[in-house]
Chains A and B, each alone.
Chain A
């Protein structure tokens, strides 16, 4: 079987050791790092994502696959930097100012990392200013915000307003989520996307990047 296909299959099985070993072999055989990433690791994660979306596998399976992906990614990273290849997307993530409920946000972070995105997790109770400053400093593509309370979710508008005020709203996109939120609320505050769960967040982030 093709080595890259084997990487993809092992990743789908969550076999961290095998992915590590196969990636090492691929590098040794001078397969370009970008090709190992796209046709091995990300190809496997895409299948995992689809199986998760269609309820064939559950979150733990996705996370095992993500862990296996990192076993390969850790070896590829220096090569990708050397070849000047950027991650497929960079996301600044946090719960909005005043909100300390971060379980959902953490899950989104785990799933995004698993899908190959670089995630900068700012943690809980993050101010609009910190979100925007970090996104600028890190050249992030997207800001992701979450809230569990109807009172704190209103603070999300501060981020979208700030981006607009600095004319950054087309280069830094926003995605929001959390139990009390909805697509309508996202539209109302001028966010670019709303995700109803972690798997959906991955899909929506991908779409945002495609449309950028």
Chain B
């Protein structure tokens, strides 16, 4: 039986949905995009062009929910299926868009560089339990205007896994779409086999910027999946109660779904988010807070109730180092997310309120993800009845280490984690150098850098996306890109 975590009865979910729809109809949202306002107006929403404000109608919201693509699949750069966003299937992806990078060893963070990104892509391509790559941090050694497309470019060049990404500007979308069309060879093929997910973030409370709303429209147009990342902050930019925050999160997410589905009915979407409580002691938004995680799991229940695949930023930590807090917050989050059946779980590698990526943490988190994926496979009998023959064999042989039953099921039943989780006895641990978790993780990072195999994407396609990237950089006066020097 697959274990499932639930926080809410359907009655409460229906109540939250009803309140959220009421808010969208009565309060509406601020929407700083004339084209989107015009589209909404054409479909019956009450638009105030002057205030850039829109009041939705219940019919509009229900229609959007009706047309939203339910389960959908994701494919790697070679066209192989990697994700089926349906039911309680769980896939992990690294936390994305960090502005800092934690160096090893030490306590210092710094702006990430191209070299860091290349290392990251080489490592993520080899982590078994993290199904996709994300554009995990923002290289600071390229022009600001290409820092979003450049991340996707490096990812597509170096790693075969599909990519969770996003744009920082309206203009960047074109080249980011063109990379993908180059990989798939046509827009139709890209629609058929989505390669990326774009994150689109409304601003709490109840607001869509021009950039993010346009991103939703652009992605929907090309059939690129979008995950909605509403970020209400309990007690600051949202009601302090978890239910109150959920109502607001629901309203903000539903407004995005309407924009997407009016643009292209059936466009693939993930019901996601990155809400948090607000820590009034430090003026911070803790992703490792248990209430934050509860909100994540609960809004995923709402998404599932609507029949939509879901997403959350949940398996990450607010710690500044790879310390006990980093481990337990990420571990608790990943466990809860897996039990809740959140389909796209974002967070591995991330520290410091989604601000800092660490390669050492990434490889640790990969092992945590493995344990969580094992957890949700649950407990099932496997040639266990009758049990008598197994026990007879045990008594006869003195052990079952090489019994047929052991041989058949040991790999399936028991997940032996990698070299980072320590399970050696004390003497063996000492004999192997008394290494701390951070040291073991660093050794694994270095090992993975030596065992990396280049992406099997054709050289022709690689050259095509290099040309696209270089042309994009030239638009902003950058004549050469740092990746050429690595």
Contacts and interface: CB of A to CB of B under 8 A. Distances in A.
> Which among A60, A63, A64, A197 has the greatest number of chain B C-beta atoms within 10 A?
A60
Given A55-B419, A196-B431, A63 B425 contact: no
B399 interface: yes
A135 to B, nearest CB: 23
Given A58-B416, A63-B401, A106-B398, A182 B406 contact: no
Interface string B238-253: 0000000000000000
Interface string B415-441: 010010000011110010000000000
Nearest to A59: B401
Interface residues of A, number: 17
Contacts of B410: 58, 60
Contacts of B406: 60
Nearest to A55: B419
Interface size class of B (residues with CB under 8 A): 10 to 19
A67 interface: yes
Give the interface SS of chain A, mostly helix, strand, loop or mixed: helix
Contacts of A179: 425
A17 B419 CA distance: 33
A182 B427 contact: yes
A60 B425 contact: no
A143 B426 CA distance: 24
B402 A196 contact: no
B63 interface: no
Interface in A168-187: 179, 182-183
Contacts of A194: 427
B252 to A, nearest CB: 47
A67 B431 contact: no
Given A58-B416, A106-B398, A64 B407 contact: yes
Contacts of B431: 196, 200
B351 to A, nearest CB: 27
Contacts of A59: 401
A110 interface: yes
Interface in B375-403: 398-399, 401-402
A182 B428 CA distance: 11
Interface in B438-452: none
A200 B429 CA distance: 12
Contact of B428 (A58, A64, A197): A197
Contact of A64 (B398, B399, B402, B425): B402
Contacts of A58: 410, 416
> Which among B402, B425, B428 has the greatest number of chain A C-beta atoms within 10 A?
B402
B425 A197 contact: yes
A114 to B, nearest CB: 11
A200 B426 CA distance: 13
Contacts of B427: 182-183, 194, 196-197, 200
Given A55-B419, A106-B399, 7 more contacts: A60-B410, A67-B402, A106-B398, A182-B427, A196-B425, A196-B431, A200-B427
14 contacts: A55-B419, A59-B401, A60-B401, A60-B402, A60-B407, A63-B401, A63-B402, A64-B407, A67-B402, A106-B398, A106-B399, A110-B401, A179-B425, A196-B431
Interface of B: 398-399, 401-402, 406-407, 410, 416, 419, 425-428, 431
